[in-house]
Amino acid sequence: SCVPDVDECASQSHGCSQLCINTAGSFHCACRDGFSLAADDKSCRPLVPAPGTDTSSQAGPSSEMKEEMNELRSRVEALEQKLQLMLAPFHNLMPPEDVGADPISRLSHSLQQLDRIDSLSEQISFLEERLETCKCLEKS
C-alpha cells in the first residue's frame, strides 16, 4: 500500500528562514533572490557583491524590500500612535506606583476603574430617584 507524502512545509515546523520546498519524503530550504543558504541549510544570509561588480540586478528586489519595510514600519508607528491616543485617558486614571508597567496590567486596571465608575454612576442615579420622592425636601 502507498503512504501519502507528508507536506513538511505546511506544518511550519521545518525551520526554514525563508522558503521551504516539499519533496517526496522530505523537504529542503531555499532562499529568495539576493540571499544564499547558510551552512545550517535552513537560514539565509544576504549576498554581498564583490567590490566593483554590477549591483543593478540586486538593486530591484532590495529596494522593493526596503520600500515595503519602510511602509510596514510607518504603519506600525501609526498603530502605536493610535494605541497611545486610545490609552491616554486611562493613564490619567491610574496611579503609576499601584500598577505594573506592562500594558496588560494597565489595561486591566483601567477596565476595573471603568467598572467602578459605571457602578457609582448607577448608584448616583438610584439616589437621585429616591431624592425626588423624599418627603424631607418638601419641609425645607
pTM, 2 dp: 0.33
Beta strands 44-46; 26-30: pairing state: unpaired
- Residue 32 neighbours by CB under 8 Å, 6+ apart: 18, 19, 44, 61
Q: How confident is residue 4, by pLDDT bands cut at 50, 70 and 90?
A: confident
Question: For 88-122, what is each residue's pLDDT tens digit?
Answer: 776 666 555 655 667 777 788 778 888 899 889 88
- Split at pLDDT 50, 70, 90, the class of 1 is low
- 37 contacts 22 by C-beta, under 8 angstroms: no
- Cα–Cα separations (whole angstroms), residue 15 to 19, 38, 40: 10, 13, 10
| pLDDT at residue number 49 | 67
CATH of domain 1-49: 2.10.25.10
The confidence score (pLDDT) of residue 95 equals 55
For range 73-96, the mean pLDDT:
78
- Given a cut of 60, whether residue 61 has pLDDT beyond it is yes
Query: What digits encode the pLDDT tens for the residues 10-60?
Result: 887 888 999 999 888 888 999 999 999 999 999 999 987 656 555 555 555
pLDDT at 65: 86
Asked if 34 and 47 count as a contact pair (C-beta separation under 8 A), the reply is yes
What are the domain boundaries of the chain? 1-49, 59-93, 94-133
